[in-house]
Amino acid sequence: MKFAVTPFSIESINNLCNHGADIFVVGTEEFSNRLAHSFTMDEIETLVTVIHQREKEVYISANMIVHHSDLEKIESFLGEMKKLEVDGIIFGDLAVYQIAKRLEIQHLLIYNPETLNTNYFDPIFWDKKGIKGLTISKEITLNDIKKIAEKSTIEISIIGHGHLNMFHSRRPLIENFFKYNKDSFEQYIENRNLKLVEEIRDEAYPIFQDIHGTHIFRDKALESYQEIITLSKIIDVFIVDGIFKDTNYMIETMKNYQLILQNNDPLQATNISKHYESDHDSGFLYKKTVYDK
């Protein structure tokens, strides 16, 4: 199993490599949703060089919702990624698949439509389309993940650690809220320190608005410390998403996972998990979502 991480800077690459990172998921905000950090095209070119020098892999996030007006721009972007010889391209819109086919890079694609990869026929279907892999839905249980991974012949990844997105709208909802209340909104756009609190719940959900719309996340970050030993035997890529965090948090997280795997100690995994229980949980690994009938 390989660890994929979302870096915050070029300078953090070597440190993350030293603590077990195998794959770096990067992107630019124009073509990607919910990045931990948006890099410029020049920075991505530098990142690819630095990461490949360390004999690690680069996955480009291109998971935007593609509108007709975006087609030419994203085709140009994918063409640039082909020239850079990246190792994978994460997508969720089928337009990206069609463009990648035309560019003859469909073998680099990793399909992550957020919620749709929920059964073992999904990798069977995409294997026939010639893509690299897919990311299993973040809302299904550990038992379901096992069943899908065991039958797959393409690369299987999961988001195993980090804040999980649970809502996305193309609408500028934060901006609209302040406009409705006749108040200024500029300071709240791209602000990642905002929380949404419902009257009937105690949870505070991270929320932000960017060029792709409004995004709302679960209140607690996911952690899989007690599951990592099992997961390391059944999946190919374990993604640590650092959104709302920083490089120090990413390094600390990688150290924890490497320690558990090196010692193969379930008790140690339990103790580490308990240390983070105030603001982390196991997500949907042991419970069906309310939408699963």
The CATH number for 73's domain is 3.20.20.60
pLDDT in the model for residue 200: 86
Split into its structural domains, the chain has a count of 2
Res 291 pLDDT > 60: no
Q: What is the mean pLDDT of residues 269-276?
A: 97
At residue 178 the predicted structure's pLDDT band, cuts being 50, 70 and 90, is very high
What is the structure's pLDDT at 199?
A: 84
Q: Are residues 181 and 134 in the same domain?
A: no
20/100 same-domain check = yes
With respect to residue 286, please indicate whether it lies within any of the assigned structural domains. no
* Residue 183 and residue 158 share a domain: no
Tell me the average pLDDT of the chain: 95
| Pair (269, 200) in one structural domain | no
Do 41 and 115 reside in the same domain of the chain? yes
Lowest mean per-residue pLDDT among 25-34, 36-45, 177-186, 268-277: 177-186
Which of 150, 177, 210 corresponds to the end of one domain? 210
Residue 287 lies in a domain: no
Query: Would you tell me how many other CB atoms lie within 10 Å of the CB of residue 128?
Result: 10
- Strand, helix or coil at 135? strand
pLDDT at residue 228 greater than cutoff 70: yes
Domain, as residue range, for 174: 169-210
Q: Which two tokens mark 35?
A: 């990045």
The stretch 67-96 carries a mean pLDDT of 97
Instruction: Let me know if residue 76 belongs to a domain.
Output: yes
Per the domain annotation, does 201 fall within a domain? Answer: yes
**Residue 293 included in any domain:** no
At residue 290, the pLDDT reads 53
What pTM did the predictor assign?
A: 0.95
Query: pLDDT value at position 49?
Result: 98
Q: What is the pLDDT of residue 293?
A: 40
Residue 177 and residue 72 in one domain: no
Going by C-beta distance under 8 Å and a sequence separation of 6 or more, which residues neighbour residue 183? none
| CA pseudo-torsion sign 274, 280, 284, 285 | negative
Residue 274 has pLDDT above 90, yes or no: yes
Please compute the mean of the pLDDT values over residues 139-161 and round it to a whole number: 95
Q: Which of residues 155, 180, 210 is at a domain's end?
A: 210
Instruction: Flag whether pLDDT at 277 surpasses 90.
Output: yes
292 assigned to some structural domain: no
> What are residue 60's DSSP bridge partners?
26, 89
Angle at 142 between CA 139 and CA 145, to 5 degrees: 80
Give percent above pLDDT 90 in the chain: 94
Q: Kindly state whether residue 288 falls inside one of the protein's structural domains.
A: no
The predicted model gives 78-107 an average pLDDT of 98
Residues 89 and 157 in one domain: yes
Domain boundary among 177, 210, 243: 210
Query: Is the model's pLDDT at 203 over the cut of 70?
Result: yes
Supply the pLDDT for residue 232.
97
245 and 180 both lie in a single domain: no
pLDDT of 131 = 98
The CA R_g of the chain, rounded to the nearest whole Å, is 19
Mean pLDDT of 247-268: 97
User: Which pLDDT score is estimated for 151?
Assistant: 87
Buried b (16+ CB within 10 A) or exposed e, 100-122: beeeebbebbbbbebeebebeeb
Residue 137 sits in the same domain as residue 185: no
Q: Do 45 and 106 lie in a common domain? A: yes
Q: Which of 124, 121, 74 is nearest to 95 (CA)?
A: 74
In a domain, 289, yes or no: no
| 229 and 130 in a common domain | yes
For residues 129 and 156, membership in a common domain is answered with yes
- How far does Cα 283 stand from its chain's mean position? 15
Assess whether pLDDT exceeds 80 at residue 94: yes
φ, ψ for residue 253, nearest 5 deg: -65, -45
